[in-house]
Structure 1
């Protein structure tokens, strides 16, 4: 019984010692530095990157990768959360790339800023929706891979074109093309002989052109003088004592004379003509009533009251 009790006590002591050692190791290894969280969103591959992978700024370790997950809002995107010490100069010009360590090939996040200045990029709170984002650029291997694919595509296209150029039917076409160029060169050699007569006439044509230009210049000078004469004539016609002004004055005088002299005379003549017409009408009426007045003249008017020979009318008996 005593052996069993000693063994049980030794077991408890061993377990307690292991627990105390673990707690002491955790206490010694705990990180007391408060870190700032950032987020990296990318659609590129992050093969080789694991949790707690190092985050380096210009080669200096400044943090770790704390979370790797897919973006539930955008299919195909990967969200990386990193925690970085506060003294790291993270700005809006900072970008991240995926780098690999030496022979081991362990991936880590490399931060850099291309020596560009920018404002400080800080997280407002610990909420994942408010974390500042750092762009992830393609790494050197990814850029080489993309360029290698493009180079392979171009090489394949170049090979296809070379194969098409070396097709058995193409040499015949190429020889025919060379023959056409040879014939064209022969015809082009005959062109100077054909244009030689025209070239010999060029001096005379240049002299005629110069004379024509002189005539055009003279015509331009004459046109300018004609324009000046027209302007002078226009100014003379439009001057205050010019023909147009005198003609307007004459029209005004004629209008005034018609208004002040001719129209009153016409009105007077019209009144006299009306009086003459009245007299003629009266004479005509008298002749119609007493045609004998042409021979015997007009009768004397009957004497009125108070005149000699006046006879009062007799009233009729009642």
Structure 2
């Protein structure tokens, strides 16, 4: 009887101890942080996202994923339920992307805000306020990878069209022509060798010509300098041009004041002499005997002694 009572006491004590352990565990595991439910509806792939996945805001953990399910009202869409710390600044411009931890492939929700609408988001469904999900890095890589694959296929098709039988034959002919051109270029150095051998002499002659041209340029410069000095000297106050100008002015003055009046006087005397010569010539024509007998006396006129009116008639 006594052993049974001990067993009963031990069983009750075990039950009480287990109960206290459960209560203590529930008390220790109780989350005192206030959280707000949010929801994400998206048609994007969420590979690697599981329940209890972390939710981070600009890299800081602010909550977790509570559920991932299909949207019964919109086939093809997913509903992702989130519990986020209430003091997280979720606004209408907050958006979510899907991030991955290292190389494990475990996904998490990354929240960010572009600041375009700094207004608190309002819950529009029983599940909580909606947060849009934008394509993340992996989605962009996948999208760009598909675009690159499509472009690669296009390039492959174009290469196939480019390298058809006719084009391959043309390409072969082109390669053969390039080979012939290369062979011709191999002979070119031997043909150019005489020219290369004479190149130093040509360079020396060019240098001599350049030196001669420099000497000619210096001589021309000196000549120009001397000519400028000569022109300046001629155009100076007592220069040759000034003296020549004064001489010409003096000569002009002398001709105007002395030479021209003398020439005019000589011309007058010459005209008078010519008139006398003309008169003499006329007398000789009328009275040639006057050379021997002299000039006939002029008969007296009226009123002069010896005047005879009848003789004059």
- TM-score, scaled to structure 2: 0.50
CA displacement 1:14-51 (0-9 Å, x = unmatched): 23212211211211221123222111001112122222
2:164 aligned residue (167, 176, 179):
167
Residue number in structure 2 paired with 1:145: 142
Residue number in structure 2 paired with 1:24: 24
Unaligned stretches of 5+ residues in structure 1: 176-318
Q: Cα gap change, 1:79/1:6 in structure 2, threshold over 3 Å: closer, same or farther? A: same
2:155 aligned residue (145, 154, 158):
158
CA displacement 1:101-151 (0-9 Å, x = unmatched): 235432211100135443111337x723xx321111112112111211211
> Is the 2:123–2:130 Cα contact (8 Å) retained in structure 1?
no
Residue number in structure 2 paired with 1:307: none
Residue number in structure 2 paired with 1:217: none
**Matching of residues 107-126 of structure 1 within 5 Å:** 107-123=107-123
Q: Cα gap change, 1:90/1:163 in structure 2, threshold over 3 Å: closer, same or farther? A: same
CA displacement 1:181-227 (0-9 Å, x = unmatched): xxxxxxxxxxxxxxxxxxxxxxxxxxxxxxxxxxxxxxxxxxxxxxx
Residue number in structure 1 paired with 2:132: 135
- 3-state secondary structure, aligned to 2:62: strand
> Is the 2:101–2:107 Cα contact (8 Å) retained in structure 1?
yes
Give the C-alpha shift of residue 172 in structure 1: 6.2
Residue number in structure 1 paired with 2:11: 11
**1:80 has 2:77 as partner:** no
Give the C-alpha shift of residue 168 in structure 1: 0.9
Q: Cα gap change, 1:157/1:4 in structure 2, threshold over 3 Å: closer, same or farther? A: farther
Q: Aligned partners of 2:84, 2:134: CA distance in 1, in Å?
A: 19
Q: Aligned partners of 1:11, 1:107: CA distance in 2, in Å?
A: 47
Q: Aligned partners of 1:145, 1:108: CA distance in 2, in Å?
A: 18
- TM-score, scaled to structure 1: 0.50
Residue number in structure 1 paired with 2:299: none
Give the C-alpha shift of residue 174 in structure 1: 8.6
Residue number in structure 2 paired with 1:71: 71
The alignment yields a C-alpha RMSD, in angstroms, of 2.4
Give the C-alpha shift of residue 6 in structure 1: 2.4
> Is the 2:70–2:79 Cα contact (8 Å) retained in structure 1?
yes
Q: Aligned partners of 1:17, 1:104: CA distance in 2, in Å?
A: 41
CA displacement 1:247-300 (0-9 Å, x = unmatched): xxxxxxxxxxxxxxxxxxxxxxxxxxxxxxxxxxxxxxxxxxxxxxxxxxxxxx
- Compare CA radii of gyration and give the structure with the larger one: 2
Unaligned stretches of 5+ residues in structure 2: 173-313
